[in-house]
Structure 1
Amino acid sequence: MESVEERLAKAMQALETTRAAVADAEQRLREATVTVTSRDRSVEVTVGAQGDLKALRFHDGRYRSMAPAQLSAVVMETIGQARARMSRQVVETYRPISESVPALPGLPGAEIDWERLFGSDEDESAAAARRKQAARLRDEIVEDPAQP
């Protein structure tokens, strides 16, 4: 049977290992970006690990012929896709760390519910329904008349 000192030493070693893994993950994510191009290839966005917009690029001048509401919808949809990819990358970066920490039943806040934090991965039919709804919204947006 292990003594209290041995268990404490093991726990401290596990804590240090976890702390180092978290620091490494934070460093990797500090520099991480995800770039997504819209389905029509007119817009490209890059987001950082916190979902912050790092770059927005318009390709081929195609955006010039788009109605403002349509361009806005394409930009917003593409940003959403980039943020979703980045959130999956963040989860996959931290998941091994959280899984290596022993369970502490009865200790509130000790377990991480990744789906609650970032949402579950939606299946293709849910994604298609979301895109269809976004297209309907795009059709319903009415531009304000230009102010002189």
Structure 2
Amino acid sequence: MEPVEERLAKAMEALESTRAAVADAEQKLRSAAVTVMSKDRSVEITVGPQGEVTALRFHDGKYRAMAPAQLSAVIMQTLGQARSRMAQQVLDTYRPISESVPQLTDVPGVEIDWEGLFGSMVTEGERGPGKPAGGRLRDEIVEDQDTA
């Protein structure tokens, strides 16, 4: 068994390496952008690393002939795809870092829950935002308990 000082030194070295990798990933993602063109090529949307819309372009005047509900649907679906691709890029950037860190199985709360962070965003873009995988509308109503 190695001395505590050596284990501590290795742990500190791993921590510094992880900090440097996270800082590098954050720097790369600051300037990240994903651009998606709608299937009908009428709309193009660019999102930044937090899913924020940084550009919205309409092409060829096709949007002028669309009904408002149709244009809205095209925009929402394209936005969902762009956000989905950006979420995947963020996951692809951070996952190797999280996998390289030794797992601390006896310490609760140190594991990264990617599904909890991104939910269904990674797969949502292909369906469109707010559309569940099963195709059925799912609403959740949560009522506050009367504490009086």
Q: Which band: TM-score by shorter chain?
A: 0.7 to 0.9
- Whichever residue aligns with residue 6 of structure 1, its letter is E
Q: Would you identify which runs of 4 or more consecutive aligned residues in structure 1 move more than 2 Å?
A: 119-123, 126-131
- Whichever residue aligns with residue 86 of structure 2, its letter is M
1:40 matched to 2:40: yes
For 1:102, the equivalent position in structure 2 comes to: 102
Partners of 1:46 and 1:122 lie apart in 2 by 18
Structure 2 unmatched ranges of 5 or more: 136-148
Partners of 1:116 and 1:69 lie apart in 2 by 32
- Whichever residue aligns with residue 48 of structure 1, its letter is G
Kindly state the Cα deviation for residue 119 of structure 1 after the two structures are TM-superposed: 3.3
Write out per-residue CA displacement over residues 45-76 of structure 1, whole angstroms, 9 at most, x where no aligned residue: 00001000000000000001111111111111
TM-score, length basis structure 1: 0.80
For 1:144, the equivalent position in structure 2 comes to: none
The number of residues matched between the two structures is 130
Partners of 1:108 and 1:76 lie apart in 2 by 38
TM-score, length basis structure 2: 0.80
* SS of match in other structure, 1:106: coil
Write out per-residue CA displacement over residues 17-44 of structure 1, whole angstroms, 9 at most, x where no aligned residue: 0000000000000000000000110000
Which runs of structure 2 are paired with 1:17-28 in the superposition (5 Å)?
Answer: 17-28=17-28
Which runs of structure 2 are paired with 1:72-91 in the superposition (5 Å)?
Answer: 72-91=72-91
Relative to total residues, which structure has the larger helix share, 1 or 2? 1
Partners of 1:119 and 1:28 lie apart in 2 by 23
After superposition, the CA RMSD in angstroms is 2.2
* SS of match in other structure, 1:112: coil
